[in-house]
């Protein structure tokens, strides 16, 4: 065996074993493992305690597969009719989402004097929720079947579809190709998204029939291969690979979807952990302190606006108050798209180098804080805060009666 392959196996094996221990530790204390995975990536990435070099390419590809698997399994939970209905209902919320979460990023860049191109870049960084992180959080907290989850997914899909239009425009803007180049890129993106949607909705039944649910091996290879194929084609057409994977899940239905979920879930768990580790591996801890305070300020503002977005979206769907808060908190992490957007920008002349470090610190803060605050609606004290005021008053009077000495005993 070649020496480089041996080192690769050692690094990957050791890190995966560590992730297993961290996952067990997180569940012992009832917290999401995502922050621990990120910290592990920071410890063994560029500038970390023990940098790993041989396995970086493996984790890079594994991270892409992790996002794809997270999204296809989300898609398997819902039908094409549910998707179309949710998208129609979520259109006004999508506009509200863009206004509340993109404008703070743009304003922040302009206040720092970075120019309007950097403002467009930072608007995208603060706008888009991480589909991968949210999918993992919802699965960890057992909320995939909750009433507010379709609302959360509709917001995510609206954002991903918006990114299919935003990224080509941003690429043209950074390249300086002008309005004509941007218009061509936008037209290709719109056509690609339309084709994928039509195929998923109109021909989904044929796709399910072509994949046998009776043979687990054939089913696993068929669904997994189809998902990677569609995601790759979508990415080649400058459309989000995550959107392509999600639509594959939507297209597959019936017993095939049920058995595919069972077979793909272990793969999802492995590669989702790889995704979060890779995010930490590519972050140099030394770049974070200089931009930490601005990143914290930006994170506080946009976490608040994203919670408001989820709350309003769930309220429009008739979800109860606690479900509205669950939807809002679940949408707060930013991730893969934000890093992609910042990565496109930092290599462009005229874009401040600090933008990349700020985006990294900002995303890291939201990815660590998001899974933690997503658990808040499950705590008893939070449930008590949501009780109607008369209920709170009666509870308080009951507590006072229990702790006040009886007048006859004095």
Q: Which two tokens stand for residue 208?
A: 């399910």
308 falls in which pLDDT band (50, 70, 90)? very high
pLDDT at residue 3 in the model: 67
Range of the domain at 144: 79-266+291-382
* CATH code of the domain in which 83 resides: 1.20.1530.20
Between 359 and 188, the higher pLDDT residue: 359
User: Taking 50 as the threshold, does the pLDDT of residue 405 lie above it?
Assistant: no
pLDDT at 213 over 70: no
Is residue 24 domain-resident?
no
pLDDT of 26 reads: 79
Question: What total of structural domains would you count in the chain?
Answer: 1
Percent with pLDDT over 70 in the chain: 80
State the average pLDDT for the chain: 80
Each residue's pLDDT tens digit, 6-16: 888 888 898 89
Of 363, 359, 357, 361, whose CA–CA distance to 332 is shortest? Answer: 363
Residue 133 domain flag:
yes
46 in a domain, yes or no? Answer: no
Which pLDDT does position 80 carry in this prediction? 66
Whether 274 is in a domain gets the answer no
Mean pLDDT of 326-353: 81
Residue 281 has pLDDT above 90, yes or no: no
More confident residue, 343 or 38: 38
Whether 321 is covered by a domain: the verdict is yes
Residue 195 in any domain: the answer is yes
Confidence class for position 360, pLDDT limits 50, 70, 90: confident
CB contact at 8 A, 308 and 100: yes
pLDDT tens by residue, 121-160:
999 999 999 887 888 888 888 888 888 988 898 888 788 7
- The answer, yes or no, to whether residue 168 has pLDDT greater than 90, is no
With respect to residue 56, please indicate whether it lies within any of the assigned structural domains.
no
Mean of the pLDDT values across residues 40-61? 78
Q: pLDDT tens digits for 89-127? A: 778 888 999 999 999 999 999 998 888 888 989 999 999
Residue 273 lies in a domain: no
């Amino acid at each position: 065996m070649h020496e480089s392959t041996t080192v690769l196996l050692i690094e990957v094996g050791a890190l995966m074993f560590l992730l297993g221990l961290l996952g067990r530790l997180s569940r012992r204390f009832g917290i999401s493992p995502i922050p621990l995975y990120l910290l592990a990536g920071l410890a063994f990435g560029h500038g970390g305690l023990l940098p790993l070099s041989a396995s970086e390419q493996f984790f890079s590809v594994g991270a892409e597969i992790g996002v794809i698997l997270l999204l296809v399994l989300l898609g398997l939970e819902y039908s094409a009719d549910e998707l179309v209905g949710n998208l129609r209902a979520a259109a006004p919320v999508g506009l509200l989402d863009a206004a509340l979460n993109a404008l703070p990023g743009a304003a922040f860049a302009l206040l720092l004097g970075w120019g309007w191109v950097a403002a467009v870049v930072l608007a995208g960084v603060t706008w888009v929720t991480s589909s991968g992180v949210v999918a993992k959080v919802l699965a960890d907290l057992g909320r995939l079947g909750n009433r507010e989850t379709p609302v959360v997914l509709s917001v995510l899909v609206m954002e991903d579809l918006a990114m299919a239009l935003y990224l080509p425009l941003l690429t043209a803007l950074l390249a300086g190709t002008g309005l004509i180049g941007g218009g061509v890129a936008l037209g290709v993106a719109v056509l690609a998204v339309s084709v994928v949607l039509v195929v998923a909705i109109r021909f989904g039944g044929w796709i399910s029939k072509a994949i046998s649910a009776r043979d687990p091996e054939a089913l696993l290879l068929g669904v997994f291969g189809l998902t990677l194929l569609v995601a790759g084609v979508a990415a080649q057409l400058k459309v989000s690979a995550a959107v392509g994977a999600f639509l594959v899940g939507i297209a597959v239905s019936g017993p095939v979807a049920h058995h595919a979920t069972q077979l793909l879930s272990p793969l999802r768990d492995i590669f989702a952990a790889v995704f979060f580790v890779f995010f930490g591996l590519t972050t140099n801890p030394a770049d974070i302190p200089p931009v930490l305070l601005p990143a914290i300020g930006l994170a506080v503002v946009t976490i608040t606006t994203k919670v408001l977005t989820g709350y309003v979206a769930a309220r429009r769907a008739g979800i109860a108050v606690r479900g509205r808060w669950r939807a809002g908190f679940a949408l707060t992490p930013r991730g893969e798209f934000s890093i992609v957007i910042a990565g496109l920008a930092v290599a462009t002349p005229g874009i401040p180098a600090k933008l990349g470090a700020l985006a990294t610190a900002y995303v890291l803060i939201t990815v660590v804080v998001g899974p933690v605050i997503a658990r808040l609606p499950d705590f008893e004290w939070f449930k008590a805060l949501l009780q109607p005021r008369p209920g709170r008053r009666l509870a308080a009077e009951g507590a006072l009666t229990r702790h006040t000495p009886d007048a006859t005993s004095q």
